[in-house]
Structure 1
Amino acid sequence: MSKFASPSRDIWSVSRLNGEIRTVLEGSFPLLWVEGEISNLATPRSGHSYFSLKDAHAQVRCALFRNKRQLLRFQPRDGDKVLIRARISLYEARGDFQLIVEHMEPVGEGALQRAFEELKAKLDREGLFDTRNKKALPAFPRCIGIVTSPTGAAIQDILQILRRRFPALPIIIYPTLVQGSEAAAEITRTLEIADARKDCDLLILARGGGSLEDLWAFNDEGLARTIANLETPVISAVGHEIDFTIADFVADRRAPTPSAAAELATQNQEQLLAHLEGLKQRLVRAISRRLQERHQHLEHISHKLQILHPRQQILQDQQLLDELGMRLERAMGMRLTQNQQRCHQLTARLRLLSPSHRITMLEEKLGNYGQKLLHSMQNILSRKQLQFAGLSRELQAVSPLNTLARGYSITTDAATGKVLTRSSETKPGNRIHTRLLEGSLVSVVENSQKKD
């Protein structure tokens, strides 16, 4: 047995050693800010990045895993001077001391970040970020104003989304600088002009992604106070989802991207039409159901009305009247039959007591008197006829007509009807009327002569 093979020795494996060292390193140091230059940058298909961070005298291996790399606002390259926030660790498989990167930014953004945090805290204390002071976005804006660069990608993204979601919505583009030393002042003036014109009831402040320095115009204190004082609601859509600016916090609503701002500002026309169609169908069903209920209720009331309607009582009274009428007819018929039977009985009794024999004798006697009366009248009429004939002969004897029959005539004045017996009773020119036995003559006197 070797003299070194003692049971009291604690022999570590390499894996155990590296593991313990890793535990000590990770537990002994907090997150550190380290500045240096990137070299030997490699990004395999896994999406992780591995590089060395160096200065003039030393270097250290670094690992930037994919989930953290996707949050970077820039693309690291060899030779870039960066500021990283990292934790110390050990790659056990090779025993390499390394830094695990949690955050990376180009050198120079640190001061900007501190200025950003200070202004953010100041405005927050003043209440500019208070949600109670933010204006509600209109559900259906009449017109949307877009404050952005007219040549950037942001305006194209917004217009594409708006044309797809609500093509009929009017759009006004307010062009402005979105980067550079004069951008903040120009954005402020453009917002004030758009708000004063009152052409739009919603404004979108938009810009594409970039570094903190590229987006610095949207961290201007004057711009922030202008946004807070606008009467028109503002949606801030600056940069990508990971980018935050002071304008995002003070605006009435923040959108992670310009495309998201367009979706936030408008209703989806197809969804809205589908929703309206659904509401229409619900309304039709509700109206149909209500009409059916009202119809059933109306039928129920109509049935009750038919039962309680005066017409029903009248019909019942008419039916009772018909029944009483038929009963009256039957009673009258029975009474008439009884009276007819009584009349027949009385007639029979009357016949038995009738003085018909005496009446027959009186009728015969009356007939005899009639014959006698007739003979007496005929005798009287014969005597009267004889008397009339005698008188007629006497009258005929003295009648003027008898004279006329012998050729004589009767002349009268046609005007006065006076019988003329002398020629002196008329004069020439007078009309006279002459009656003959048969007929008469009308003539004019031409001459009159006196009797010789």
Structure 2
Amino acid sequence: MPLSNNKSPAATDIYTISRLNREVRTVLEEVFPTVWVRGEISNLAKPASGHLYFSLKDSSAQVRCAMFKNRQSSLRFEPENGMQIVARANVGLYEGRGEYQLIIQSLEPAGAGALQLAFEALKQKLAAEGLFDEDHKKLFPLFPKNIGIITSATGAAVRDILSILKRRYPAANVIIYPTLVQGEGAGIEIANAIKRAERRKECDVFILARGGGSIEDLWAFNEEVVARTIFDITTPLVSGVGHEIDFTIADFVADQRAATPSAAAELISPDSAEVLIKLKHREEQLIRTQKQTLHNYQSRVELLSKRVPHPQQRLIELIQRTDEYSMRLKHQVEKQISNKKMAMTEIAGKINELNPAHKITQQIEKVNVLEIQFKKSITRSLEKAQDEVSSLSQLLNTVSPISTLERGYAIVTEPKTNKIVTNTKHLKSGDQLRIRLASSEIDSTVDSIHEK
């Protein structure tokens, strides 16, 4: 304010330059907390500190800018003089020179910057409508029979996906729904391809895929029509668009996002080798259960036999009949186990040609039916034997059970594998054998082999 009448102002009315600059800086920061600006880079400087200093200008004005090193981690390009950019910045004042400047928070090429603004706006809109909510996410089938791929028919993405599926899950049928994945009209075409695949009801799961590229290249997957189409379908869909650092609106709406097209293929396909291992484990469990069940019923037969009194002749007949039942049961179990092993071997051989989900379910159901039939057969045989034992219990006073082993039989096994030795084809001198008798076991060594 100009002075008049030669009067001096009060000391509190006089600003120092530092105070003036400080208060102006405060006013600028309050009035302009964050702004988006667009302009051309000029006078770019990169000192040893790692900070960036430059000017942004348009046809009639310019402003100094500073981008500190800790804000440069998000940069996805190298700034250069003459480059048109969009910047998010705080307005401030460099007090040392009394010049106002922009403190840059993020920096993008002008085209990408505009697209990024549109991306964020659509993302917020759809999120507010609930299109990204976890409640709407659908589960993927464990063993999909038909897999649909929505992508370019000639791109690298489809080749990568087909290669992964062929290696991991060759039993699946793959259907490709070709579409443009970039350029004008690509968004509408992608949406139409998704709708077409949904209408045909051919697939258990979809893969929406495209290789990496710039934000402009991937923009079709950021269009609202694509997002709403993905949300409206009932078939589960996994997105595999771009590289790990690329995110699109389609990723947020999809039931699950994969970092790359290859990762999407691995996400929805089971590993056939792991399925075979689990199937083999199931077979071993079933065999152990059947052997234990047989042993329990044999022990029960032996216990009941001990309660049967004589006459001796009738007792011998009963024991022989019991042995016969036992041998029949053993033969039946061994035959069933052999049949199951053959079936499992056949399954393992055809697993690359057949649908694991269907075949595994079939085999499990078949095993369950055989297990029920097996238990019923044993129960009927034992009930019949018990009835005969009960009718003789009033006539017989003593019992002298003779089991298979007590009658002089023995079981020869290999100690390492516990497998029963039925012939000498795979034996040689020096092999270790274990001989099981009625009440003891003998460890022995093969000295020589005599064929009969």
TM-score by length of 1: 0.52
What are the residue-to-residue correspondences of 1:9-408 with 2, within 5 Å?
A: 33=36, 35-38=38-41, 52-55=54-57, 57=62, 59-60=64-65, 62-64=67-69, 68-69=73-74, 72=76, 76-85=79-88, 103-270=106-273, 272-273=274-275, 276-281=276-281, 283-284=283-284, 286-311=285-310, 314=395, 316=397
**Change beyond 3 A, Cα 1:303–1:42:** farther
**How far off is 1:247 after superposition?**
1.8
Q: What letter matches 2:281 in structure 1?
A: Q
The answer on whether the counterparts of 1:33 and 1:85 sit within 8 Å (CA) in structure 2 is: yes
SS in 2 for 1:129: coil
**How far off is 1:182 after superposition?**
1.0
The answer on whether the counterparts of 1:41 and 1:49 sit within 8 Å (CA) in structure 2 is: no
Q: Which one has the largest radius of gyration?
A: 1
Q: What does residue 432 of structure 2 align with?
A: none
Q: What letter matches 1:131 in structure 2?
A: E
Q: What does residue 356 of structure 2 align with?
A: none
**Change beyond 3 A, Cα 1:124–1:297:** same
**Change beyond 3 A, Cα 1:143–1:278:** closer
Distance 1:318 1:269 in 2: 56
Distance 2:62 2:45 in 1: 22
Distance 1:142 1:58 in 2: 61
**How far off is 1:210 after superposition?**
3.1
Distance 2:296 2:183 in 1: 75
Distance 2:201 2:399 in 1: 80
Q: Deviations over 1:260-288 (max 9, x none)?
A: 21111212333x24xx324523541x334
**Change beyond 3 A, Cα 1:166–1:42:** farther
Distance 1:128 1:243 in 2: 20
Distance 1:101 1:165 in 2: 48
The answer on whether the counterparts of 2:236 and 2:255 sit within 8 Å (CA) in structure 1 is: yes
SS in 2 for 1:150: coil
**How far off is 1:259 after superposition?**
1.9
Aligned residue pair count: 286
**Change beyond 3 A, Cα 1:125–1:33:** closer
SS in 1 for 2:193: helix
SS in 1 for 2:149: strand
Q: Which has the higher contact order (CA 8 A, sep 6+)?
A: 2
Distance 2:172 2:192 in 1: 25
The answer on whether the counterparts of 1:68 and 1:102 sit within 8 Å (CA) in structure 2 is: no
SS in 2 for 1:141: coil
Distance 1:207 1:75 in 2: 25
Q: Deviations over 1:231-257 (max 9, x none)?
A: 322212222333332222222222222
Identity of aligned residues (%): 49
**Change beyond 3 A, Cα 1:40–1:292:** farther
**How far off is 1:227 after superposition?**
1.7
**Change beyond 3 A, Cα 1:69–1:115:** closer
Distance 1:161 1:317 in 2: 72
SS in 2 for 1:308: coil
Gaps of 5+ in 1: 1-20, 90-96, 320-452
Gaps of 5+ in 2: 1-21, 93-99, 316-392, 401-452
Indicate the RMSD between aligned Cα atoms, in angstroms: 4.2
Distance 1:318 1:164 in 2: 65
